[in-house]
Structure 1
Amino acid sequence: MRIARRQPVVPWYAATRVLLLLLALNVLPYFNRGAVTGDVSTYHGWLAGSFDHGRYPLDDPKWQYPPGAAAPLELPHLLPGSYYVLFFLMCLVADVAVFGMLLRAAQRADTERATQPGPPGQPSQAGPWLWTLGVAAIGPMAYGRYDLVVTAFAVAALTVTLRSKRSTAIARGVLIGVGTFLKLWPAAFLFGAPKRRNGRLLAGVAAAAAVLPTLALELFFPGVLSFLTNQKSRGIQLESVFASPFLVGKWFGWSHEMQNTKYGAYEYLGTGVGVAGKAALAATVVGFGVLLLIRRRAAVRGGFPFPAMFADVGFAAVLVAVVTSRVLSPQYLVWLLGVAAVCLTRRETLMRTPAWLVLGAVSVTQLIFPLFYHSLRYGQVYSGMILFGRNAVLVVAAVLALRALWRATGPDASAAMFSGGLLGESRGDGVRLAQDEGAPLDREVGGRGPQDGPERVVDGVGSPGRSGADRLVEGD
């Protein structure tokens, strides 16, 4: 791509991904092989013990995924060669796809901006840079989970652009639905769906793409819907935000039971954990309630003020889901990075500060897990302060994201709009923004009518036994 040749982020991206792949394949030594291959070993065990026999591993408490998760787990198994090597290569392909979509989105956003008054500028590199640095900070663990595949669908949903608003809404709905079918979190994007018929179309298509195959699989494999309830008995995972009271309390002699549970994570158990779990659920309800109220405030004013808010609202929703969850594994940060990077491809985003805060939080990932994880479990202060600081930054990012959306949809929206870098002209009820006329869904988002308008097409986007290659990447 022409844009790729012009951007200095490309060689940095290529260098970091070559390094990550070499670390994942054990060509270069990584200080904790189990952190890279642990989940892949679990996936491989499910294949040999369940999927190869035509059933889901529903008797394993570690299976906590929607039934669509079987597709990316099975794909490397269908090709000849080492399952481990092919799994890492699949994740690399998803990583490259995300990077390419971010470059395209940045180029398209600045091309649209060139039609507005003022200097056109250069394509924004902020989104591709955040993705490049963030995934590198997570390390080879990012290639040892299937979350990169889900994130590729999520980023495609946020960046796809077709000839009309209707076709764009359908494409986005399909991609959101498929992402939800693989792992639930892309459903959070529906908080930012445009109003009127294109928004209803997007939501309806997304629901159909996620629900219909799930129900069909439930008919053939009874029990696959158990993922909706099988986490209710979990404790509070060590890395989650709501584990912070137990973490800090241990510094002052407040002992609490912790164990590696049947779910495959170290969790706090015992007194107070039930209360913390209820508090986490309440925080989720409050956070999503605020997002619904923001959506209502936008609807009263005719819709979200500008097209970039589809990604902005989606990012805020995923942030709320992550910081209020009882579990916060390293792969959750991949979700945040992907959506944050999409936000930064548009210069008018309101999520600039929260997005960079997320990158700052991600930068200490490998210090928390796996480097200092042992000391965290035993309550060491220095490692606990790193985790506490990381979680505090994520909470601040979530609060700032909700605050920015609240200001942007209220009667005094001018300050938020100008801080997002948009031009506006005053009118009686606040600010009218300069719209990106070329962006599909713009009039639906801005509340200016449902009619469609044409625009240019933009490209969006072996056996159960362990082979020698498997042993290469598994060995500690």
Structure 2
Amino acid sequence: MSPSRKHRTLALAAAWLATRALMLWLLAHDRLAPLGRGGVSREVGHLYFHWYGVLSQGAFPVGDRLWQYPPGAGPVLLAPGLLPGLTYFTAFVACTLAADAVIAAALTRAGLRPGRSPRGAWLWVLGLPLLLHIPLARYDVQVTAFAVVSLLALSRGPRVCGAFAAMGALVKVWPALALIGTPRGRGTREVWTSAVITAAALLAVLAALFSGPFDFLRQQSGRGVQIESLGGTVLGLARHAGWPGTARYQYGAMEFVGPYTGAVAACSLALTVAAFGLVLLWRVRARRWTEATPYDAALTAVLLFTVTSRVISPQYMVWLLGLCAVCLTSRHTTQRPVAVLVLVATAVSSVAYPGLYGEVVRSTWTGCLLMLVRNGLLAAAAGVSFVRLWRSGLPPAAPRRVPAGRERGPHRVPTGLRTRH
């Protein structure tokens, strides 16, 4: 390793250690009012630990309205129990930090290759702390690790790419979208074949080891409109216009209940289907691929999926930061402006939760403004991302033909200026 690369790696490692120490400090002081009064860490200490006890008995939480995750989430929640001498909470945070370190190392390695950029690693290292301590108390970092490794492995091992995407999709569905931009041809067939085989094999193993692996489908279908979603922003503003709905904790999140919430949820689902159709249309029409196209397409797809979702929890920003970081490892990416918008949206998201979450729940003007800004930034990022991806896939413009007799150059004299001798 050259001295310059060694210095960059050491600088990234030092930044990672410093920022993660800060995040751990915030987590240790989680009960302070600006940090959520213990609400952030409670999910691990109570809910995840409860699920760990059920999973340890060889069963998924059947009938639990809060369990809405694919069966691959089971092993992730069981993993902290493999670390001896630690409480479940401490072990869970240790596993999350390990996944975080894997992401940082993978991005650093990719960014230091010839023709690549270390900006992706820097975005991840410095961008994740914008979410304060939230990433350490959710398992979205682990899911993002699967997607990041999958995308970075594409150029060297399509089968590895497909396998990691499948594992991530079995934990939370969205990593499957990482494969939407794989180049046409043999590589795509290898990626998708590997993904299907891996998913089928893991599902068979989980179905053999645990009972009720598919009960999450019934619980997921009952979700409503979370107050932090785009539809929730509309309903929050509608409360100031006399809409009689209220916010209630259900299905693991604060959701709006009242007239027209079903219609808003249905509209969100329709928009998600339309967004998926746009991504498929891009894939059909695209004619140009660069090394960055699979990365850019993954970010676009997940952004559209996130913005149109009935739920936009703060931890969803972890996914977007990870995909933005992958994009920035390539000098050919079209998504640099999108990464800036996502970073700003991430910072605003932390102000909304946990900082001023009470304002958001009560739909005060402050809470509504925060969500309008955060979701507006995400919507703008999704729009810019798709437009730039679409344009990058268009065939190059044909060179303009100059009519005969009008060529320009030092060897040709304009007709009107010729003289006779």
Normalising to structure 2: TM-score of the pair?
0.88
Identify the match of residue 181 of structure 1 among 161, 170, 174.
170
C-alpha distance in 2 between matches for 1:358 and 1:282: 24
Q: How many residues align?
A: 395
Secondary structure at the residue paired with 2:301?
helix
1:408 aligns with 2:392: yes
Identify the match of residue 109 of structure 2 among 89, 104, 110.
104
Query: 1:137, 1:362 within 8 Å by CA — same for their partners in 2?
Result: yes
Q: Could you tell me which residue of structure 1 aligns to residue 50 of structure 2?
A: 45
Note the C-alpha offset of 1:353: 0.8
Q: Could you tell me which residue of structure 2 aligns to residue 372 of structure 1?
A: 356
Note the C-alpha offset of 1:239: 0.4
C-alpha distance in 2 between matches for 1:228 and 1:97: 30
Matches within 5 A, 1:230-249: 230-249=219-238
More deviation in 223-232 or 363-372?
223-232
C-alpha distance in 1 between matches for 2:106 and 2:355: 32
Cα-to-partner distance string for 1:425-474 (whole Å, 9 max, x where unaligned): x6699xxxxxxxxxxxxxxxxxxxxxxxxxxxxxxxxxxxxxxxxxxxxx
Note the C-alpha offset of 1:133: 2.7
Matches within 5 A, 1:78-117: 78-80=82-84, 81-108=86-113, 111=114, 113=115
Note the C-alpha offset of 1:328: 0.9
Query: 1:25, 1:85 within 8 Å by CA — same for their partners in 2?
Result: no
Q: Could you tell me which residue of structure 2 aligns to residue 24 of structure 1?
A: 27
Identify the match of residue 14 of structure 2 among 11, 16, 19.
11
Query: 2:56, 2:78 within 8 Å by CA — same for their partners in 1?
Result: no
Secondary structure at the residue paired with 1:149?
helix
Matches within 5 A, 1:283-362: 283-298=271-286, 301=287, 304-362=288-346
1:382 aligns with 2:366: yes
C-alpha distance in 1 between matches for 2:52 and 2:208: 21
Question: Which has the larger Rg?
Answer: 2
Q: CA RMSD in A?
A: 2.2
Letter in 2 for 1:143: L
Alignment identity in percent? 36
Matches within 5 A, 1:254-269: 254-261=243-250, 263-269=251-257
Note the C-alpha offset of 1:380: 1.0
Secondary structure at the residue paired with 1:67?
coil
Cα-to-partner distance string for 1:162-192 (whole Å, 9 max, x where unaligned): xxx6x61111011111111121110001211
C-alpha distance in 2 between matches for 1:6 and 1:43: 37
Query: 1:319, 1:336 within 8 Å by CA — same for their partners in 2?
Result: yes
Q: Could you tell me which residue of structure 2 aligns to residue 271 of structure 1?
A: 259
Note the C-alpha offset of 1:255: 2.7
- For structure 1, list consecutive stretches of 5 or more residues without a partner in the other structure: 114-122, 415-425, 430-476
Query: 2:224, 2:262 within 8 Å by CA — same for their partners in 1?
Result: yes
Cα-to-partner distance string for 1:363-415 (whole Å, 9 max, x where unaligned): 1222111121112111210122011110011011111111111112224x56x
1:56 aligns with 2:60: yes
Note the C-alpha offset of 1:343: 0.2
Query: 2:66, 2:219 within 8 Å by CA — same for their partners in 1?
Result: no
C-alpha distance in 2 between matches for 1:350 and 1:177: 26
Note the C-alpha offset of 1:258: 1.9
C-alpha distance in 2 between matches for 1:78 and 1:409: 46
Query: 1:157, 1:172 within 8 Å by CA — same for their partners in 2?
Result: yes
1:65 aligns with 2:54: no
Letter in 2 for 1:252: A
Letter in 2 for 1:403: V
C-alpha distance in 1 between matches for 2:68 and 2:31: 32
- For structure 2, list consecutive stretches of 5 or more residues without a partner in the other structure: 402-421
Q: Could you tell me which residue of structure 2 aligns to residue 205 of structure 1?
A: 194
Structure of higher RCO (CA pairs closer than 8 Å, 6+ residues apart)? 1
